[in-house]
Structure 1
């Protein structure tokens, strides 16, 4: 990064089931106020704000921010499917790095309804139309919900290429549950076994219900600022963004008839490579990661996309326990989307919240010992992928 970008404050509400949530206005305002308190500044110090959500009318961002303050600042509403929260953070970071502002806020929130994701606007072309048609053609699955069959198809693609066992995917879910036990903000905190995962109702040829993230409600927020602003206002400069990249789909998404690419493998790999180049570190240097485990299949292929394992090497990486405490890189100490939950607009900022606290050493029983470098991966179909690397001073 040309200018040092300090993560000044973070906040996150507990993630809960639809129907158990407060209104998005309340959740969003709570997350912002937590981030302000964490940074030790008042709202009048925020110079721009970026508000991320997927399900809601226009200017929901203003509706949330106005609960905290009405100072006339620019507020930009952001929607990039499941990568929305990190897209808001990307824009806030970019505004500070460019020198346009000294302090910016990113907030993400979602008030979801029960059930699998589906198109809302059915009277016009779907932005996922080509993704859906190619998925139908490649998987020959015409009954499963949209996202489940896409990511399930990606897992089957990995099986066909590398012989990956079904139990390997289940181990990811069991690992997520063991991490979430110690996260008071996670929606599911009960530890489950590989057998539990395999015996849960089957959703696709590969995936069972416990291998799919739940619809969730919640909010997260982060404040980023310049180093000079931080020092002027007595803000802790201990965690910085050392690299960040957003990618969208390449022609390979559709040209290669490969379900792993349809769900963003190449976006992930390209964004990660840019971030490693920006920061001067490699995947072998990462201590802790929060990655987009919307389904167990996506976590598995993402290990390879991020360079934690070579292509075809994810299964060994998992069975060697290199994805948990005592291994190569602790992935999703929060429990990830599978156990913590996935309120679409909030997910990326919840990942930021977890990693910033890990680098500060504030994560209690789920603390990754000696964590100095953290990597965040947030993916949205349609598509966008944001990879962010944080470093502790």
Structure 2
């Protein structure tokens, strides 16, 4: 992956970012682009066939290239499709690449002459909580308020997640932010939509990430077993009837999609949450990280705050969640986020995450969500263990 940076703060354009990340992934695998048989390229903001323009920086070999756009879950969706291609036998080696070149400030709509894809979700939420702008913090903030009302969760517990993730990112040279903040600084930063403050919200970012996905036979032929990481389970789930039938902000921001995908992945991988060591999850806002603890089965509904208070999701706890700093502090270039999560977990399982290494990491879990909607959950383990 490239370092994630503030929009417009790096030289070059999105093809340059894609070349940097893609070349690094190929070099890591010790292969040439000519050995890649399919490419899946994710981005949210861009013109049609930007995926081809990006991946052409690696070569012109005539392979199928698929452009992927699935809101904030775009990167993990590209990975899901690349994995499907390899597992089906359609390709022996595929490349999933994601990038984003974003505008500064809150996310906005590109087209104003048609219904917005999130309109059904927003209208449903507006029946529960008075509408506010910008939409993203409104939706996830409302979910946090619902959690507080139902379970007694406190704004301090949400703020502790922001403090944790900023602290983690201080050891990540790829993170957009590497500053450590006190809990008081997190809580007193500018209010966005209560209980969320600015330092509990992911920023807009520029960046790219890439992953080589290969079959077991390809790995063996190229002597890559010592560094390969196995995708032990993977599931993608879109909105369910419960998204709207529950009359719940928590369901509207995707908790049931996550819960369903996680159950499928645990079954595929033959593991349960207690077996997992390290997790990269979609903390677009601190409220969503806490809600996702419960959706991934780390604890029962309503007990996410207890995990926070007991420091169970940081170093020294039961799981290390978002050692990279997560979206809140590492950054969130939408098309690259899911692939950057995979990158971080690959480094963790190889024991190459340097100062943020999770000791004894053997099973890793990834969660990437996009409203409107899709949740992708993946489980990983080293191929040679």
Q: 1:333 is matched with which residue?
A: 323
Cα displacement (A) at 1:140: 0.7
Give the one of 349, 360, 364 matched to 1:374: 364
Alignment of 1:136-215 (within 5 A): 136-142=126-132, 144-215=133-204
Superposed CA offset, 1:343-388 (max 9, x none): 0000000000000000000001100000000000000000000000
The alignment status of 1:120 with 2:110, answered yes or no, reads: yes
**How far does residue 246 in structure 1 lie from its aligned partner after superposition?**
0.0
- Mapped to 2, the partners of 1:370 and 1:298 lie a distance apart of 27
How far 1:119 moved relative to its partner? 1.5
SS of the equivalent of 2:247 reads coil
Aligned position for 2:94: 104
1:220 to 209, 219, 222: 209
1:259 and 2:249 equivalent? yes
Secondary structure, counterpart of 1:198 in structure 2: helix
In the TM superposition, what are the counterparts of 1:57-96 in structure 2 within 5 Å? 57-96=47-86
Structure 1 Cα separation of the partners of residues 121 and 207 of structure 2: 28
- Offset at 1:141? 3.1
- Are the equivalent residues in 2 in contact too, given 1:170–1:211 (CA < 8 A)? yes
Partner secondary structure for residue 138 of structure 1? coil
Q: Distance in 2 between matches of 1:101 and 1:201?
A: 49
Which of 26, 29, 34 is equivalent to 2:16?
Answer: 26
Whole-Å separation in 1 of the counterparts to 2:177 and 2:41:
26
- Unaligned segments of structure 2, at least 5 residues: none
3-state SS of paired residue (2:288)? helix
- Structure-2 separation of matches of 1:175 and 1:126: 34
Partner of 1:9: none
CA offset digits 1:78-103 (Å, max 9, x no partner)? 00000000000000001001111110
Matched, 1:283 2:273: yes
Instruction: Provide Cα deviations, 1:208-245, integer angstroms capped at 9, x if missing partner.
Output: 11111000000000001111111112223541000000
**Match of 1:203, SS?**
strand
> Aligned equivalents of 2:195 and 2:332: distance in 1?
21
State the secondary structure of the residue aligned to 2:128: helix
Q: Find 1:349's aligned residue among 328, 339, 342.
A: 339
Structure 1 unaligned blocks of 5 or more: 1-11
Specify the SS of the correspondent of 2:282.
Answer: coil
State the TM-score, normalizing by the size of structure 1: 0.96
Partner Cα separation in structure 2 for residue 222 and residue 176 of structure 1: 24
- Report how far residue 256 of structure 1 moved: 1.4
Q: 1:390 is paired with a residue of what secondary structure?
A: strand
Number of corresponding residues: 381
Structure 1 stretches of 4+ with a deviation exceeding 4 A read none
Specify the alignment match of 1:250 in structure 2. 240
| 1:155-205 per-position Cα deviation (integer Å, ceiling 9, x unaligned) | 001001001011000000000011101000000101111100110111112
Give the alignment's Cα RMSD to 1 decimal.
0.8
Question: Counterparts of 1:53 and 1:292 in 2: how far apart (Å)?
Answer: 17
Kindly indicate whether residue 36 of structure 2 is the aligned counterpart of residue 52 of structure 1.
no
1:135, 1:149 within 8 Å by CA — same for their partners in 2? no
Q: Is 1:323 aligned with 2:313?
A: yes
TM-fit CA distance, 1:134: 1.8
What is aligned with 1:383? 373
- CA deviations 1:112-160 (Å, max 9, x no partner) are 0011112211100111111111222211133x20101000000001001
In structure 2, the residue matched to 1:234 is 223
TM-score with structure 2 setting the length: 0.98
Give the equivalent residue in structure 1 for 2:123: 133
